[in-house]
């Protein structure tokens, strides 16, 4: 037991644990909409797009939150615009926007020779650089997104389930979609340090998919996905320390293992629930 509690005495680990737990909850919550709207690819792409902003802000020396935030929100709104227009090959357009941004980020790091901890942390996640400011930022974003989901619960549900009838019923679906994309962008920004760009998509998708296998109710799915995200974040971070593996992949692997267990236990019924859910 001595070994088990050892990391809790270290401030950076406590910070990492808090951030991982809140980041997991945040991604679990927003992931419900990502999965149900068939936006898993957008979530993946957006995290890569934000990497470009991260690289630019790191190299230019601009505050990360401002630089990558502005870049991420702009990318999110552009992606939302492309998606809503339903032009041919919207997924391809998203692929171009986001991978180009990602490639730009890598090229900038390469040209300016700034490969190192920041680069690896952004890609794969790390708790080493997590300070009190990051803890407060993740908690702040989690509370903000939770409040958005709470007060916009009804329009978000209607727009996600049946956008055409929602629009005809007076719901401003364009605004609701934009709000969701901005919430997704700031969620990715806030969790990037711990989870890493390449793995954020998994933390958005896995808790929501597991929750979907466990319930048929939307409100319960939101609560379950949030709890599952928090639990996998907490457990993954603990295991990351004890197994000496990078935090991001460990959190994702814990989620993957939970998915496998629930998938096996819920049998055909659970699998059929997710059969046509867009992932």
Partner 1 sequence: MTFHLGPDLIRLDRVTCSYGSAPVLVDVDLAIGPRQFSGIVGPSGSGKTTLLRTLLGSVRPLSGEIERQPGLRVGYVPQVETINWSFPVTVSECVLMARTRGRRLPWRSRSEQAEVAEVLDRLGLGALPDRHIRDLSGGQQQRVFIARALLGRPDLLLMDEPTAGVDVSTRHEILHLLDELHEDGLAIVLTTHDLNGMAAHLPHLVCLNAAVIGDGAPRDVLTPDVLERTYGARMDVLDHAGMPVVLDRYLSDRAG
Alpha helices in 37-131 (DSSP H): 40-60, 64-85, 90-111, 117-124
Q: Which of 50, 68, 127, 166 binds partner 1 (CB under 8 A)?
A: 166
Residue 36 interacts with partner 1 (CB under 8 A): yes or no: yes
* Size of the chain in residues: 279
Question: Please, which residue, 41 or 158, has the CB nearer to partner 1?
Answer: 158
Any idea of the CA torsion for 162, 165, 170, 174, to the nearest 10 degrees? 50
Q: Does 273 interact with partner 1 (rule: CB under 8 A)?
A: yes
Element (H, E) at 217: none
Residue 143 binds partner 1 (CB under 8 A) = no
Using CB atoms within 10 A of its CB, is residue 204 exposed (0-12), middle (13-18) or buried (19+)?
buried
Backbone phi and psi for residue 209, each to the nearest 5 degrees, phi listed first:
-70, -40
User: According to the binding rule CB under 8 A, does residue 161 interact with partner 1?
Assistant: yes
Minimum gap (Å) between residue 38 Cβ and partner 1:
9
Q: How far is the CB of 88 from partner 1 (least distance, A)?
A: 12
CB of 228 to partner 1, least distance (A): 14
Q: Contact region for partner 1 (CB under 8 A) — 99-107, 123-131, 218-226, 227-235?
A: 218-226
Span near partner 1 by CB under 8 A; candidates 4-12, 167-175, 198-206, 256-264: 167-175
In the complex with partner 1, the residue whose CB is nearer, 116 or 170, is 170
Does the footprint of partner 1 cover residue 63 (CB under 8 A)?
no
**How many residues sit close enough to partner 1 to count as binding (CB under 8 A)?**
33
Judged by CB under 8 A, does residue 227 bind partner 1?
no
Burial pattern 70-98, b for ≥16 Cβ within 10 A else e, equals: ebbbebbebbbebbeeeeeebeebbeebb
CB 22 within 8 Å of CB 237:
no
Tokens of 42: 């957008």
Which positions touch partner 1 (CB under 8 A)? 36, 150-155, 157-158, 160-162, 164-171, 212, 215-221, 273-277
């Amino acid at each position: 037991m001595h070994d088990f509690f050892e990391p809790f005495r270290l401030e950076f680990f406590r910070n990492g644990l808090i951030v991982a737990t809140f980041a997991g909850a945040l991604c679990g919550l927003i992931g419900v909409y990502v999965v149900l709207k068939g936006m898993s690819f957008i979530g993946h792409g957006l995290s890569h797009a934000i990497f470009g902003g991260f690289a630019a802000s790191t190299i230019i020396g601009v505050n990360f939150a401002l630089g990558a935030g502005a870049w991420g929100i702009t990318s999110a709104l552009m992606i939302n615009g492309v998606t809503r227009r339903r032009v041919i090959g919207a997924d391809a357009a998203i692929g171009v926007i986001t991978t180009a941004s990602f490639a730009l980020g890598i090229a900038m790091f390469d040209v300016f020779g700034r490969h190192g901890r920041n680069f690896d942390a952004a890609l794969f996640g790390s708790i080493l650089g997590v300070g009190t400011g990051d803890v407060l930022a993740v908690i702040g974003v989690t509370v903000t997104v939770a409040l958005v989901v709470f007060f916009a619960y009804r329009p978000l549900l209607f727009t996600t389930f049946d956008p055409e009838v929602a629009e005809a019923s007076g719901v401003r679906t364009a605004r609701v979609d934009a709000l969701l994309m901005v919430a997704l962008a700031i969620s990715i920004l806030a969790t990037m340090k711990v989870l890493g760009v390449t793995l954020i998509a998994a933390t958005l998708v896995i808790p929501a998919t597991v929750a979907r296998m466990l319930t048929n109710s939307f409100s319960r799915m939101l609560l379950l996905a949030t709890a599952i995200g928090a639990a996998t974040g907490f457990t993954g971070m603990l295991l990351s320390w004890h197994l000496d593996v990078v935090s991001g992949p460990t959190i994702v692997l814990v989620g993957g293992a939970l998915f496998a267990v629930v998938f096996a236990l819920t049998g055909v019924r659970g699998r059929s629930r997710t059969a046509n859910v867009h992932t």
